[in-house]
Amino acid sequence: NRILVAARRRPRPAGLPPSDRLIETALAGLAVTGLVAHGVYYQNSPLFGTVIGIGSRSAQHVYLTFDDGPNARTTPSVLEILSERSAPAAFFMVGDFVLREPDIALQVAKAGHEVGNHTFSHVKLHRRGPARIRSELERTDAAIEQATGRKPRTFRAPHGFRNPFVVPAARRLGYTTFGWSFGVFDTARPGAEEIRRRVRKRLRPGAIILLHDGDGYDPNGDRTQTAEALPGIIDDARAAGYELRPISDLLRK
């Protein structure tokens, strides 16, 4: 009994028990890891800098964007459809492909579409340091300006993956960084009608729509299904009361 009484009278140590402190530390670590993962992998995360992923939700506007070109097989078809339907778009181009297809890059610019930087080699930037990131952006900047006579104003990271060095590098070149509101996995080539259905299902005010006129890892990649789906995508958007607008409306002032 004397032992029990003495134990009850002994003062408790300050703070949490060691097991609770370990749990608290582990939870804090998980929270930080989750936050960093959100910044790296979520294309519109503001953690590493401002990214535009949607336009005004109060206007019936949507925005067409195409990644990974120029592509000799698909980009001219996309341009023809956009011209026939008087629809604006943005093309985020891979610098290496611009050097391969400068005439197509020029056609995009002459048609009045936005030409943006999508890195030189479609590298996943979250795994790269500041020197490589600067090189990827600067080489593409030079390739686009040489081909089109215009300096790019916009940037989109491949897959949307970023780290703390990406947006500052883009900002130094005067770029506005874009994400997207939704993609439809047209790169998986599920069929033109399925691509069209997926876009129609997800239309909403301000949506920046991610499509692909090229394959970021293959200059000859097949994106013809996206081109085949495009007339229906445009028609569906307009039938639903949406106006197709250029992303230049959303550039930083």
Determine contact, residues 225/199, Cβ cutoff 8 Å: no
Give, for 135, the enclosing helix (H) or strand (E). Answer: helix 130-148
Query: Could you say which of 118, 186, 212, 215 is catalytic?
Result: 212
Using DSSP's 3-state secondary structure scheme, residue 176 falls into strand
CA distances from 66 to 4, 91, 168 (A): 75, 5, 23
* Residue 221 to residue 68: CA distance in whole angstroms: 10
Q: Is 212 a catalytic residue?
A: yes
* Alpha-carbon span 108 to 115, nearest angstrom: 7
Ranges assigned E (strand) in the chain: 61-69, 90-93, 114-117, 154-155, 176-177, 182-183, 208-212, 243-244
Whether 118 is catalytic: no
> Which residues face 214 on adjacent strands?
none
β pairing state of 90-93 and 114-117: parallel
Give strand pairing partners of 102: none
> Which residue(s) pair with 222 in the sheet?
none
Burial classification of residue 57, based on how many CB atoms lie within 10 Å of its CB (0-12 exposed, 13-18 middle, 19 or more buried): exposed
Which of 67, 141, 186, 215 is labelled catalytic? 67
Supply the Cα-derived Rg of the chain in whole angstroms.
Answer: 24
Active-site positions?
67, 212
